[in-house]
Chains A and B, each alone.
Chain A
Amino acid sequence: AQSVTQPDIHITVSEGASLELRCNYSYGATPYLFWYVQSPGQGLQLLLKYFSGDTLVQGIKGFEAEFKRSQSSFNLRKPSVHWSDAAEYFCAVGATAAGNKLTFGGGTRVLVKP
């Protein structure tokens, strides 16, 4: 079975500072990994995804994530946070062998201080 852990429930960061959100996954085969962002009361927006190839993935809104197989991690980063980045962020793992179902982490809520 696949599982995802996001160790940080809340993160507060100052505007302009860098941001890193942690994600650890568990899956027996090659995982497909995703980061989504959710604003309050809204659906999910895909930030980026990793299927294979280059382990550093670029996404929208200036986000990037690095897949590290040895650490079973897929951490999300942004060099300089904007106030509009305040939201809930979800890491997810999926697999074709699992019927393309997604398993989500618990989420990390990001607060941005002026």
Chain B
Amino acid sequence: GAVVSQHPSRVICKSGTSVKIECRSLDFQATTMFWYRQFPKQSLMLMATSNEGSKATYEQGVEKDKFLINHASLTLSTLTVTSAHPEDSSFYICSILLAGGRYNEQFFGPGTRLTVL
């Protein structure tokens, strides 16, 4: 498998500020990474697909101007929550996509807990 890290693990910020979350692939290069959001007691919802060297692809209903994704290298993708509001408080999880034969498998990071006051 692959090891994926996220930083920070927890962050608390004031409403109106921006927060950056990093997702790193520690032992493989990842052309594609995914960003998910998980509200308390709910499932994971895919927010966007992050492609190295190109613009991210956002799922329907996700504001691309609010959730800025930058996949500048094969081992790092960042998610910036701009002008955060309390309703953005959530658990954000990233994953990397590795090619593995017939199916490319995802490996997940440990998640980042964002609390907006």
What is the interface of chain A, defined by CB distance below 8 A to chain B?
32, 36, 41-44, 46, 49, 51-52, 90, 94, 96, 99-107
Interface of B is mostly: strand
B104–A100 touching, CB < 8 Å: yes
Contacts of A100 in B (CB 8 A): 32, 97, 103-104, 106
Encode contact with A along B70-112: 1 for CB under 8 Å, 0 otherwise: 0000000000000000000001010001000011111111110
Tally of B interface residues using CB under 8 Å: 24
For this complex, 29 residue pairs linking A to B, each with C-beta atoms less than 8 Å apart, are A41-B91, A41-B111, A42-B110, A43-B108, A43-B109, A43-B110, A44-B44, A46-B1, A46-B107, A51-B102, A51-B103, A52-B102, A94-B103, A94-B106, A96-B102, A96-B103, A100-B32, A100-B106, A101-B34, A101-B49, A102-B34, A102-B44, A103-B46, A104-B43, A104-B44, A104-B45, A105-B43, A106-B42, A107-B43
Q: Whole-angstrom distance between the alpha carbons of A41 and B111 in the complex?
A: 8
Name 6 extra pairs, CB < 8 A, besides A43-B6, A90-B43, A102-B46: A42-B111, A51-B103, A96-B103, A101-B34, A102-B106, A106-B43
Given contacts A101-B34, A101-B49, A106-B43, contact A49 B105 (CB under 8 A): yes
